[in-house]
Structure 1
């Protein structure tokens, strides 16, 4: 323990330093972390990095998925659900099928079941990588919502394929009837368990005398509980966490107070950043062991690299084909469901951009490492090291090649130039703030008009909300005016919640304003 602890602390410090370097170079930090882990792995004397395959999913996936649910706009997911679900399910299955067919044909001894296993591992694009890369360029909110929504659901669909393929490899048979029943239970049971447990957590935290630290700790353990319970009854832990996370995200203003939301946000941001960093470093650090495994199977490294490049090419091609197929199908059957493109050139180049956003990362590595070392009969799992190596090559190539070129392609193609984002984001923000001002001022006039005359604090309230003036002196804020001020903050939250029901309003703007209200409420506590 004492020998590994300095190494773990050094890993965390390296993650922070590399993230700062990546920000300075304007490169997505997952790229630098993978490359750094690859370079560090060649240093002699470093402790071997090994994770129990049975724990890899449980350690990393629940919190990463849960945090993603709290970051995404559920309203935008519902708006673009057709494209999101087609990419998350149909495209994932098509990609896995393509990988299975090609690898079965080209790789000696690779069965269709092993091909589907590999396909399930490498088919889901990584949300963290895509988000880290696209933050250096401006893309429309619709594109961002599609990529984020897809990343939440494709993890579940790919891992379902992975699980069925793992059973087929282990037993040597695949019973379609049993698989269909199992699939339905995994989907329905996973979503149901996630929603039920999330409801119980929300109700419990509403009634318990929690504070910001205890609320934050509870939100940290909740995704693990949801995932574990779902897996115990053989349903999808991933879908359970996604369903529960989306429900709790929508209820955050019901069971969490302003302090819990503000402090919890900071804790979760740091926690998920470290988790992601560790996984991307592990991707690089695992290479020497994977290479030794390839050699033990008697496969030349050059041949294994060729297989990795082949599979990566299939991933890119399958995503490109699927993107254009989705565009053609939408043009024929549901033209109104297309995201606003502005002109024909942008419309027909958008699928190519979506096809080039398929960077692989955390989920693919976790799935590959979760392959058992041996089968139930004690025999070595067939081609385990080769699958790990191909996965590593796919992650490395998509991260480095696509990750480094995607921002350049977006800027060079000028696809999003002259787009007035979100139908006028600045105008939306101004309209929202004007509406807030009028709503609060009307509330004050209606409820507290009799208290205004002769009350300096109430007059200040009216002046503040009528003129939006900045008051440097807080001496006028007494206990009564504090109570009213908190009431006004809650009135604003209700107004913003109603405003958010408008499909034309960007939810990110609403969330920013809600966060400002939380900060304002916390400021009152120290006046």
Structure 2
């Protein structure tokens, strides 16, 4: 690569970072989820004369952006909620993908020019899967109830594997003229999914074992970044799902991290990963908007008005298709739980079901999958539907990100879905248990050491004030030997809280989200103590 080429790429990269910072800051002022504004900004910038043309390389998305973003999204995925919502997630991640593919394979030939059922299968595979990056980046920023966020995130993570598998089948049908049998398809799905999960769990187990002997923030942060790429690349090399490998590795390490990761490392890792995902997400969403000239420029012989009609009609049809399936599968899942599993689930609420259907946003993964389609078919023939598939995928991405993303907060408000009382109750109960465990530990420590100093008594009083929800504004100051003894007691009490918190999570009494919230408070409390500014939370 020449020096001029390197300088040009550096300039483009810096330009993208400037766009991300400026428009993300503007989104904060406007109180709009920054991914939406970044896509809009990219669309506007693409019309500016002299603007550098920045193409979307699918290899860049699959090999550079995807692994860490999947890893970050899976880290916050609740294992308890994943288990509880498994039927709904499976129906969305597998059933909806197949429903979309078959629906487009049946209808594409009569609705889109030059399409047959094979092209419809490819189009369905490209747009069927919701995007984990988009769901994670927007869902948490628009005030969605936690259970809906859990379902959307889990769906978008799992259906990446089914969507990419469907894309492989579609390419096999198009290039080889052979349609895989149903048994072959199920076998491939099981092999790719289970193989990817096995690879991810193996890597996670090895890293979790190794990290028990490492307590260094920068090293552990680098290891976590390497884990995302290592799981993806090893899974791909072994011809299993690299996406599922990353998800399984991240969920396993997230589950084990409270046992091997110190408070200081957790705080550092959280800050680094927040910055990394913000940068990668920002660049991804700006790149989506900047693709408009490429997408439209590849289609010839069709007027812009007709193209706009195709884009609007196709996007509306896919959204309607999702809404139809979501309502159907939700009530089917309810029937399965009640009549097959003999459970007594809550009756589905139409407003919640509607939000789940409306929250199925697409992102850069669909566009990268479309761009990765071949230009040529066997025999030297061109693949004429490739440009239209890319264009329709782009329209669907823009429509779901902008229209659905912008209307979600409004819909949540008018439907009254911003209630988080369940998580609040769990969090309050966890705080009560943690404070009680700390008090018990301090009483035992004082009795064991036969300590008559006021240190233990004052710490117990402070925890009791917390337990009684009475804020404490002053604390005992100690110096010399008393300070060291007090710090030791505080550290032991904080560790007792952590142990109780992990126990509550392992017994499924609290969610992983509650664990992370309270764990961060404990980490900050220990950090303040190390810096000499200890105040109880």
TM-score normalised by structure 1 residue count = 0.90
1:150 equivalenced with 2:155 (yes/no): yes
Match of 1:189 in 2: 195
Change (3 A) 1:427 1:46: closer
8 Å CA contact 1:56–1:370 kept in 2: the answer is: no
Q: How does 1:110-509 map to 2 (within 5 A)?
A: 110-135=115-140, 137-176=142-181, 178-207=184-213, 209-295=214-300, 298-335=301-338, 340=346, 347-374=349-376, 380-412=382-414, 414-416=415-417, 419=419, 421-422=421-422, 425-468=423-466, 469=472, 470-471=474-475, 473=477, 475=479, 478-501=483-506, 503=508, 505-509=510-514
CA distance in 1: counterparts of 2:104 and 2:191, whole angstroms: 26
Q: CA deviation at 1:253?
A: 1.5
Change (3 A) 1:487 1:380: farther
The ranges of structure 1 where at least 4 consecutive aligned residues each deviate by more than 6 angstroms after the TM superposition are: 336-339
Please give the root-mean-square deviation of Cα atoms over the aligned residues, in Å.
Answer: 2.6
> Per the alignment, in what secondary structure is the counterpart of residue 334 of structure 1?
helix
Q: CA deviation at 1:242?
A: 0.9
CA distance in 1: counterparts of 2:165 and 2:304, whole angstroms: 30
Q: CA deviation at 1:249?
A: 0.8
8 Å CA contact 2:140–2:149 kept in 1: the answer is: no
Deviations 1:398-427 (A, max 9, x none): 222222222222223x3437x5721xx544
CA distance in 2: counterparts of 1:338 and 1:148, whole angstroms: 25
Deviations 1:263-289 (A, max 9, x none): 111111111111111111111111112
Deviations 1:440-497 (A, max 9, x none): 1212222331435343544443343344444263536644443443232222111012
TM-score normalised by structure 2 residue count = 0.88
CA distance in 1: counterparts of 2:287 and 2:426, whole angstroms: 43
Change (3 A) 1:398 1:77: same
- Structure 2 stretches lacking a partner, 5+ long: 1-5, 467-471, 533-537
Matched residues, number? 516
Q: CA deviation at 1:124?
A: 2.0
Q: How does 1:11-22 map to 2 (within 5 A)?
A: 11-22=16-27
8 Å CA contact 1:124–1:364 kept in 2: the answer is: yes
> Per the alignment, in what secondary structure is the counterpart of residue 108 of structure 1?
coil
CA distance in 1: counterparts of 2:409 and 2:344, whole angstroms: 23
8 Å CA contact 1:4–1:47 kept in 2: the answer is: no
Change (3 A) 1:197 1:252: same
Q: Quick check: 484-493 or 65-74, which moved more? A: 484-493
8 Å CA contact 2:258–2:502 kept in 1: the answer is: no
Change (3 A) 1:446 1:319: same
Deviations 1:219-245 (A, max 9, x none): 111111110011111111111111111
Change (3 A) 1:445 1:103: same
Q: CA deviation at 1:103?
A: 1.5
